[in-house]
Structure 1
Amino acid sequence: MFPIYDVIVVGAGHAGCEAAHAAARMGSKVLLCTMNMNTIAQMSCNPAMGGVAKGQIVREIDALGGMSGIISDKSMIQFRMLNRSKGPAMWSPRSQNDRMMFAEEWRLALEQTPNVDFWQEMITGLVVKNGELKGVRTSIGLEILGKSVVLTNGTFLNGLIHIGEKQFGGGRTGEAAARGITEQLVELGFESGRMKTGTPPRVDGRSLDYSKMEVQYGDENPEKFSYSDSTTALKEQRTCWITYTNKKVHSTLEEGFDRSPMFNGRIQGLGPRYCPSIEDKINRFAERDRHQIFVEPEGWNTVEMYINGFSTSLPEDVQYKAIRKIAGFENAKMFRPGYAIEYDFFPPTQLKLTLETQLMENLYFAGQINGTTGYEEAACQGLVAGINASLKAQEKDPFLLKRSDAYIGVLIDDLINKGTEEPYRMFTSRAEFRLLLRQDNADLRLTQKGFDIGLASDERLAKMNTKKEETAKLINDLKQKKFSPESVNEGLEEIGSSTIKEKISAEKLLKRPQIGLQILKTFNTEIDAYLSKYPTEVLEQAEIQIKYDSYIEKEQQMVDKLSNMENFKIPLKFDYIAIPALSAEGKQKLNKVRPETMGQASRISGVTPADLSIITVYLGR
């Protein structure tokens, strides 16, 4: 009935979709298994993509040849570039999306990808014979064989939903939990744990009074995620709104704290620290009289609203009473209450940097099964797992991203070397080379890598090379172009910048904090005409590289210094236990993580500089 697949992907969320698409694009025969074909790429939580650091990840996925950026663009209803007032390392694209359109676009993209087959049924276990992975087993007892399996189970592994004192099994509201896989993996020797996440109530937008809220518009000139020409920027946008909780809301919520599963001990799993529930906010920040609430449309035409900032697992009657005390929500009608969900995960220190498990060859984990939270974090893991599963099936070298290559590299390195005891979320502060890892240059950093493994297209590579060449030419021209005092001093005075006494290059003027290329164009009609020939992305790239040249150079020097450690390989079967001089904690952590390089070993929590020196001696260096 089934062929032997190169890659079997279990779960069709953000991680599973990227894994299936990547592996198939690279020539592997792929089977995507899901419990429900109608919920492929479901936005289970907020209808948005990107944000601080997350937007950089979406751009990186796109640069490598993944689909999250394109799907986000096609289903976008609003775009904002966050942190524009800060330096370019902090600029982060974010979109509001049409939830139904997002899922539909992903399904259509997968259906139009050659080499992808689908199977709708619960996967209850793996087929393992003589210690080797052979495929997956379905709920009706079918055995589907494959060379590798990528598990992207999201919140479905023994999922348990909590609403007040009520609890019931489920991976999402209205969908069954997945059972059997955790138990089998634990039998095989894997360590598992429990985590939790939550979601807010959804309300009827027709019942809200928007005159009592602040309007949040999209950017005047919206951009897009994808570097390709397959999508276009928005011509019109939907607005969002901001309102606030108050003391009455807080006191109403507190009335239900004794029935809260979070406070009465029914929830055992740890929740995301950086996305706390409303009851957690009130408890942790008791001194605050109000908390911000974002009212986000679920799509172009629907009246359903997502109440961002009001995630809760309190009883539904408490939620209803409290939400009606928020300004603008006095007559709110709820579509469904918020809830918390507990689920199984597997500590990611059990993985290799390829996201293949250490215990079982050809088995890969991606997404929330690894203890992460967020669509973007899941999608990039799915992409890397799908790429590596495909490469292994084709007997090719693995694909690895270093911390200096991408936020994706930072995320995977953090998970494997540090592990996580709470849902991991990406932040710009986690990346030590964030000036190199900007959202605007993800294509320059990663498109060649995506092309080399057969994922990014010829057109993408050509477009990136054109941008690279035009940026270099423009920077060189700006170094050569000289301005006389009489041509620019009037403009400099107007913006409060010191005047010049002799000719100065355009490049040196650009290094002044008050001056950008758009201001420079106003100084001189000749330069205005010249710069107008270049696309916006080239102008932006040239300006950033000129302004931050010395800082970028310093970061690159740091990367070069650390590269020696990254190139210093450690044999996978190196016996740490046999080295008496190593610290007890060092032995334990090194033996568990099995680092592939000295660079990786240096980032493992608990491994001391003395431990590293001892290993170096034992390796004969």
Structure 2
Amino acid sequence: MFNDVYDVIVVGAGHAGSEAAAAAANMGSKTLLVTMNLQNIAQMSCNPAMGGIAKGQIVREIDALGGYSGIVADTSAIQFKMLNKSKGPAMWSPRVQSDRMRFAEDWRLLLEQTPNLDFYQEMVSGILVKGDKVVGVKTSLGIEIKAKTVVLTNGTFLNGLIHIGDKNFGGGRAGERAAKGITEQLVNFGFDSGRMKTGTPPRVDGRSLDFSKMVEQPGDENPEKFSFLDVTKPLKNQRSCHMTYTSPEVHELLKEGFDRSPMFNGRIKSVGPRYCPSIEDKINRFADKDRHQIFVEPEGWNTVEVYVNGFSTSLPEDVQYRALKSVAGFENVKFFRPGYAIEYDYFPPTQLRHTLETKLVSGLYFAGQINGTTGYEEAGSQGLMAGINASLKVQERDPFILKRDEAYIGVLIDDLITKGTEEPYRMFTSRAEYRTLLRQDNADLRLTPKGYELGLASEKRLRRMEEKHDSAKKFVSFFKDTSVTPEEINPILESNDSSPVNQSGKLFKIFARPNISMDDIRKVEAVEAYIQSNNLDNEVIEQTEIQVKYSGYIAKEKNNADKLTRLEYVKIPEDFDYSKIKSMSYEAREKLKKIQPTTVSQASRISGVSPNDISVLLVYMGR
């Protein structure tokens, strides 16, 4: 069946695997995607949504590089929201509510239309290794498939164990079996492994809910979209979500099941996501709060299935049911399925290089939850990077690594490689020290040229980005070059409680005032005339406003990034012997020896390595 040697084999077809397979195939590598169930490609295992705070920036970065997540998020969207609009643009984060069934279908159809990509449905039970190099995979039927590189994206399937109350059973997801064999083999090769936990809430029948008792949450009045390409238009019609609350009565009903909770009786020993706790964890940790928000999210355009966001739980199903019936609007609730927790194997990501290639086995890459992350977006971005680098390795080209000042994806991977994680890692804007540079609106300006150089982003995508860049640059120059009289501008300033001017001045200075918006400045005849005569779209107008209003902050952050990234170019030899540096702390020597950073900058970000240790290292290296 498999006589050819593939350039890249991707194991698992979740968000990481789908992006990895698409990237490798689109870069010209002969690629095979192996998954246990081809009907579940890019399945939304948990909530039916893409994006959110910091995650939305990642989806836009994936799209800018030429990945598929942003396109599929748009084609399957039922609602769009730009979060944090009341804050500065560094915090703006796009999010879509998705049609779960359509999302998976659109992903599969896109993959099927991708040249160089083959599919095979079966469980991979192990990898084939010759010396210290991967040479393929072995399936549960005993079939050996040869490859030059392998990307493992096993999600929650490695020895997955599902918990509902005092019951537990093997599985990688509800209704699907766990994957066996890979963990044990990798541990035999010398890899460290651990266990993590995640959970999911009940799914219920929307026909049994009383939405009149809930707060409606509609989408944005003027919705945008994720992809920088014009594959789809912004939504004209949207489905609303709703919000309700738990109560002290709900909390008491939940507590009745605590003695049967696998979280509290010791059955679950692994660590769950701190920022997405289960409902029992919330009422236990935040005992002072008498209610918690519940977001009621439709699963699609036409289905009646509803996702109960905020009610993730592994309590017994009867306890879940009784407690949820006491939530306002859920009095007559009917379950589609109860919530559950799942434990699974992961591999501490300090065992990887920044390319996501393992240090122990050449040509073997890890991406997604196998690296200890949580979230579709984090997984998709890792899959994209692993697929890119696996393809580059086969093509004998230089690896592709994004720095912390270039992308949230760079922050994510650098955090994982240098710091590791002992709990499911989730991206936040606070993790990025250069978030003013890493905005969702400029992801294409930052990354599309890089994607084009890789052979991943299309020429159409590049041309569109260049047009946006040039148009915004010219519009900024217009504000710098155009003057306005007090007679024309003072009525606008006074209506916004902004100090009037006594003489003519440049529009740039006026527009830079914090309380003057683009809508205000468009009241100046020359500005509106420029927009109309140049046929500027909303993207260019928004980009211009940000460049004018935040130019000082952007320049300052860029300067800081340039200073700090100089150490990125100070390379550490691969066989560097840290044990010789006696004046460095013992902890630093051990951490550096284990992680083997490639640059001094990477070494400085390792937990336990102090600025003094870095100074000693620089002196020792003759710097």
Instruction: Please give the TM-score of this superposition, normalised by the length of structure 1.
Output: 0.99
Alignment of 1:33-432 (within 5 A): 33-432=34-433
Alignment of 1:491-510 (within 5 A): 491-510=492-511
Letter in 1 for 2:118: D
Q: What is the Cα deviation at residue 563 of structure 1?
A: 2.0
- Please give the secondary structure, in 1, of the residue aligned with 2:578: coil
Letter in 1 for 2:540: V
- Write the distance in 2 (CA, Å) between the matches of 1:602 and 1:547: 33
- Write the distance in 1 (CA, Å) between the matches of 2:464 and 2:132: 46
Tell me if 1:531 matches 2:506.
no
Q: 1:161 to 1:525 in 2, by over 3 A?
A: same
- Write the distance in 1 (CA, Å) between the matches of 2:619 and 2:561: 24
Which piece of structure 1 moves more, 13-22 or 610-619?
610-619
Residue deviations 1:410-433 (CA, integer Å, cap 9, x gap): 000000100000000000000000
Q: What is the Cα deviation at residue 578 of structure 1?
A: 2.8
- For 1:15, the equivalent position in structure 2 comes to 16
- Please give the secondary structure, in 2, of the residue aligned with 1:8: strand
- Write the distance in 1 (CA, Å) between the matches of 2:618 and 2:287: 51
- Write the distance in 1 (CA, Å) between the matches of 2:492 and 2:545: 19
- For 2:622, the equivalent position in structure 1 comes to 620
- Write the distance in 2 (CA, Å) between the matches of 1:383 and 1:180: 25
Whether the 8 Å CA contact 2:132–2:362 is kept in 1: the answer is no
Letter in 1 for 2:585: S
Identity %: 68
Residue deviations 1:347-387 (CA, integer Å, cap 9, x gap): 00000000000111000000000000000000000000000
Residue deviations 1:336-357 (CA, integer Å, cap 9, x gap): 0000000000000000000000
Q: What is the Cα deviation at residue 492 of structure 1?
A: 1.7
- Please give the secondary structure, in 2, of the residue aligned with 1:235: coil
Letter in 1 for 2:395: Q
- Write the distance in 2 (CA, Å) between the matches of 1:462 and 1:131: 43
Residue deviations 1:161-209 (CA, integer Å, cap 9, x gap): 0000000000000000000000000000000000000000000000000
- Write the distance in 1 (CA, Å) between the matches of 2:322 and 2:565: 57
- For 1:446, the equivalent position in structure 2 comes to 447
- Write the distance in 1 (CA, Å) between the matches of 2:386 and 2:194: 21
- For 2:437, the equivalent position in structure 1 comes to 436
Whether the 8 Å CA contact 2:132–2:360 is kept in 1: the answer is no
Tell me if 1:473 matches 2:509.
no
- For 1:543, the equivalent position in structure 2 comes to 545
- Please give the secondary structure, in 1, of the residue aligned with 2:437: coil
- Write the distance in 1 (CA, Å) between the matches of 2:588 and 2:492: 61
Letter in 1 for 2:569: N
Q: What is the Cα deviation at residue 268 of structure 1?
A: 1.1
Whether the 8 Å CA contact 2:152–2:366 is kept in 1: the answer is yes
Q: What is the Cα deviation at residue 116 of structure 1?
A: 0.4
- Write the distance in 1 (CA, Å) between the matches of 2:483 and 2:131: 74
Residue deviations 1:213-270 (CA, integer Å, cap 9, x gap): 0000000010000001222211110000000000110000000000000000100110
Work out which of the residue numbers 603, 606, 610 in structure 2 matches 1:604.
Answer: 606
Structure 1: state its 5+ residue gaps: none
- Write the distance in 2 (CA, Å) between the matches of 1:395 and 1:379: 24
- For 2:587, the equivalent position in structure 1 comes to 585
Q: What is the Cα deviation at residue 493 of structure 1?
A: 1.5
Whether the 8 Å CA contact 2:197–2:341 is kept in 1: the answer is yes
Which piece of structure 1 moves more, 291-300 or 580-589?
580-589
- Write the distance in 2 (CA, Å) between the matches of 1:276 and 1:89: 26
- Write the distance in 2 (CA, Å) between the matches of 1:336 and 1:220: 33
- Write the distance in 2 (CA, Å) between the matches of 1:173 and 1:151: 21
- Write the distance in 2 (CA, Å) between the matches of 1:572 and 1:83: 44
- Write the distance in 1 (CA, Å) between the matches of 2:231 and 2:210: 38
Structure 2: state its 5+ residue gaps: none
- Please give the secondary structure, in 2, of the residue aligned with 1:460: helix
RMSD over equivalenced CA pairs, Å: 0.8
- For 1:572, the equivalent position in structure 2 comes to 574
- Please give the secondary structure, in 2, of the residue aligned with 1:382: helix
Q: What is the Cα deviation at residue 525 of structure 1?
A: 2.9
Letter in 1 for 2:500: T
Whether the 8 Å CA contact 2:568–2:602 is kept in 1: the answer is yes
- Please give the secondary structure, in 1, of the residue aligned with 2:522: helix
Q: What is the Cα deviation at residue 612 of structure 1?
A: 1.4
Q: What is the Cα deviation at residue 615 of structure 1?
A: 1.9
Q: What is the Cα deviation at residue 14 of structure 1?
A: 0.1
Q: What is the Cα deviation at residue 482 of structure 1?
A: 0.9
- Write the distance in 2 (CA, Å) between the matches of 1:274 and 1:47: 18
Q: What is the Cα deviation at residue 61 of structure 1?
A: 0.3
- Please give the secondary structure, in 2, of the residue aligned with 1:361: coil
Letter in 2 for 1:81: M
- Write the distance in 2 (CA, Å) between the matches of 1:182 and 1:426: 26
Q: What is the Cα deviation at residue 579 of structure 1?
A: 2.5
- Write the distance in 1 (CA, Å) between the matches of 2:152 and 2:470: 41
Whether the 8 Å CA contact 2:278–2:311 is kept in 1: the answer is yes
Which piece of structure 1 moves more, 467-476 or 528-537?
528-537
- Write the distance in 1 (CA, Å) between the matches of 2:130 and 2:562: 45
- Write the distance in 2 (CA, Å) between the matches of 1:124 and 1:516: 58
Letter in 1 for 2:539: E
- For 2:26, the equivalent position in structure 1 comes to 25
Whether the 8 Å CA contact 2:124–2:139 is kept in 1: the answer is yes
Letter in 1 for 2:308: I
Q: What is the Cα deviation at residue 582 of structure 1?
A: 2.1
- For 1:558, the equivalent position in structure 2 comes to 560
- Write the distance in 2 (CA, Å) between the matches of 1:121 and 1:50: 30
Tell me if 1:513 matches 2:480.
no
- Write the distance in 2 (CA, Å) between the matches of 1:505 and 1:617: 51
- For 2:458, the equivalent position in structure 1 comes to 457
- Please give the secondary structure, in 2, of the residue aligned with 1:577: helix
- Please give the secondary structure, in 1, of the residue aligned with 2:490: helix
- Write the distance in 2 (CA, Å) between the matches of 1:131 and 1:594: 18
- Write the distance in 1 (CA, Å) between the matches of 2:64 and 2:492: 39
- Write the distance in 1 (CA, Å) between the matches of 2:526 and 2:367: 53
- Write the distance in 2 (CA, Å) between the matches of 1:475 and 1:525: 16
Whether the 8 Å CA contact 2:200–2:339 is kept in 1: the answer is yes
Residue deviations 1:313-344 (CA, integer Å, cap 9, x gap): 00000000000000000000000000000000
- Please give the secondary structure, in 1, of the residue aligned with 2:50: strand
- Write the distance in 2 (CA, Å) between the matches of 1:319 and 1:608: 47
Q: What is the Cα deviation at residue 104 of structure 1?
A: 0.3
Residue deviations 1:557-609 (CA, integer Å, cap 9, x gap): 10110121011111121111232222110111001111010000000011122
- Write the distance in 2 (CA, Å) between the matches of 1:149 and 1:606: 32
